[in-house]
Amino acid sequence: MKLVLHRRYRFSASHRLHQAAWPQQENLRVYGKCANEHGHGHNYVLDVSVTGPVDPATGMITNLADLDAYIGQHVLAEFDHVYLNQDVPAFRSLIPTAENICRVIFDRLRGYPHAQLASIGLEETGANSFEYAGESRENA
Amino acid sequence: MIYLTRKVEFSASHLYHNPDFSPEENRRVFGKCNNPHGHGHNYVLEVTVAGEPDPRTGMVLDLKELKDILQREILDRMDHRFLNYEVPELAGKIPTTETIAMTIWQLLEPSINHRGQGTLHRVRLYETPDLFVDCTGNGQ
Query: B22 and chain A: CB distance < 8 Å anywhere?
Result: no
Rounded CA separation B78/B41 (Å): 12
Neighbour count for residue B109 (Cβ, 10 Å): 16
Residue A16: CB partners within 8 Å, gap ≥ 6?
A34, A35, A36, A37, A38, A39, A40, A85, A96
- Distance of alpha carbon A79 from alpha carbon A82, whole angstroms: 6
Other CB atoms within a 10 A radius of the CB of residue A60 amount to 24
Q: Which residues, 6+ apart, have CB-to-CB distance to B39 below 8 Å?
A: B13, B14, B15, B32, B33
Each residue's pLDDT tens digit, B5-50:
999 999 999 999 999 999 999 999 999 999 988 999 999 999 999 9
- On whether the CB atoms of residues A69 and B35 are closer than 8 A, the answer is no
- The predicted model gives A98-102 an average pLDDT of 96
CB burial class (10 A; 0-12, 13-18, 19+) of residue B61? Answer: buried
Q: Which residue of A has its CA nearest to B140?
A: A2
List pLDDT tens digits, range B81-116: 999 999 999 999 999 999 999 999 999 999 999 888
Cβ contact, residue pair B99, A54, below 8 Å: yes
A38-42, A119-123, B46-50: range with lowest mean pLDDT: A38-42
- For chain A, what is the domain count? 1
Beta strands in B15-118 (DSSP E): 39-51, 81-82
- Asked if the Cβ–Cβ distance from A59 to B96 is below 8 Å, we say yes
The predicted model scores a pTM of 0.85
Q: What is the CATH number of the domain that holds A130?
A: 3.30.479.10
Provide the residue range defining the domain that includes A28: 4-139
Complete DSSP assignment for A22-58 = S-HHHHHHHHGGGG-TT-EEEEEEEEEEEE-PPBTTT
Chain mean pLDDT for chain A: 94
- The CATH code of the domain at B2-136 is 3.30.479.10
Q: Is the pLDDT of residue A78 over 70?
A: yes
Of A26, A40, A81, A99, which residue is the catalytic one? A81
- Using the predicted structure, report yes or no on whether residue B140 has a pLDDT greater than 50: no
- Number of residues that this document lists for chain B: 140
DSSP A34: G
Cα nearest neighbour of A3 on chain B? B135
Instruction: Pick the range with the lowest mean pLDDT from A24-28, A120-124, B36-40, B45-49.
Output: B36-40
